[in-house]
């Protein structure tokens, strides 16, 4: 039995939270742990989460919902709390407003993990897939511009964050040894994914493409709101992992490519 831990970070998210919770509750796969880490919301967020827990408890004994609400030091501090409280085989972060695209999404991800376990003798370090973008009302906008490659490694992110954070399922035994770096306010997820994949390479573990859309991402997130600060952080993260010269050359190429496309 493979258990999936889904962590949802919330703060005054009552307007968008329900679609996130419903997408998890409606999963056909039963062995799911859903941790809702709230930052002491002042709206109805916690009440919505409690109602959701009661609904889930009445439907499935193997679908666990765990709620906490307390002040935190920001998004990535809350993610670290969720990471350390998780007990599954894999962990994924599905924040308020984001949602799973179908009731069979987790079943599909787990089946890929089982296939790799059967063929390789061990679970992949990472399972990843495609992402669709939705607006703040949950309406489909389009496919994410950056698409995941067939074969992913930590070097792949030289070309940008090719896999959305919400479509990145990391093995928990690896993830819990690699907390989010709180010196980054908007792009610690980029750094975290790279470090997870570096550890996968060090351990000679598979990184497996599920081959379908496994996350719907709400465009109006913190990275979108703080776009310039996020880009600066991402540049520094790339310099850290790939070197200053390589990063500078890649950004020159990004600029040229965007002009050519216009």
pTM value?
0.93
Say whether pLDDT at 258 is over 80: no
Cβ pair 45, 12 in contact under 8 A? yes
How many angstroms from the chain centroid is the CA of residue 123?
19
| pLDDT tens figures, 191-241 | 999 999 999 999 999 999 999 999 999 986 555 567 788 889 999 999 999
How confident is the prediction for the chain on average, in pLDDT? 93
Widest CA span of the chain, in angstroms? 56
For 7, counting Cβ atoms within 10 Å of its Cβ (0-12 exposed, 13-18 middle, 19+ buried), the class is: buried
How many angstroms from the chain centroid is the CA of residue 186?
14
| pLDDT tens figures, 129-154 | 999 999 988 899 999 989 999 999 99
For 262, counting Cβ atoms within 10 Å of its Cβ (0-12 exposed, 13-18 middle, 19+ buried), the class is: exposed
């Amino acid at each position: 039995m493979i258990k999936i831990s889904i962590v949802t970070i919330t703060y005054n998210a009552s307007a968008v939270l329900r679609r996130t919770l419903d997408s998890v509750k409606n999963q056909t796969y039963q062995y799911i742990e859903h941790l809702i880490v709230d930052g002491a919301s002042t709206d109805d967020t916690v009440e919505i989460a409690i109602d959701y827990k009661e609904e889930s408890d009445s439907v499935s004994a193997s679908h666990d919902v765990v709620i906490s609400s307390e002040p935190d030091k920001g998004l990535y501090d809350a993610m670290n709390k969720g990471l350390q409280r998780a007990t599954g085989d894999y962990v994924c972060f599905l924040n308020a407003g984001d949602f799973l695209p179908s009731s069979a999404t987790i079943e599909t991800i787990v089946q890929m993990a089982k296939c790799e376990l059967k063929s390789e003798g061990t679970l992949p370090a990472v399972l990843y897939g495609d992402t669709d973008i939705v607006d703040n009302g949950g309406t489909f906008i389009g496919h994410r511009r950056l698409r995941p490659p067939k074969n992913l490694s930590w070097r792949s992110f030289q070309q940008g964050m090719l896999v959305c954070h919400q479509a990145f399922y990391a093995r928990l035994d690896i993830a819990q040894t690699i907390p989010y770096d709180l010196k980054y306010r908007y792009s610690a997820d980029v750094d975290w994914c790279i470090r997870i994949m570096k550890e996968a390479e060090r351990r000679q573990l598979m990184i497996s493409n599920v081959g379908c859309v496994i996350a719907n991402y709400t465009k109006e997130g913190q990275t979108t709101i703080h776009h310039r600060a996020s880009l600066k952080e991402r540049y520094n993260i790339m310099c850290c992992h790939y070197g200053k010269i390589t990063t500078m050359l890649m950004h020159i190429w990004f600029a040229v490519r965007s002009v050519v496309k216009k």
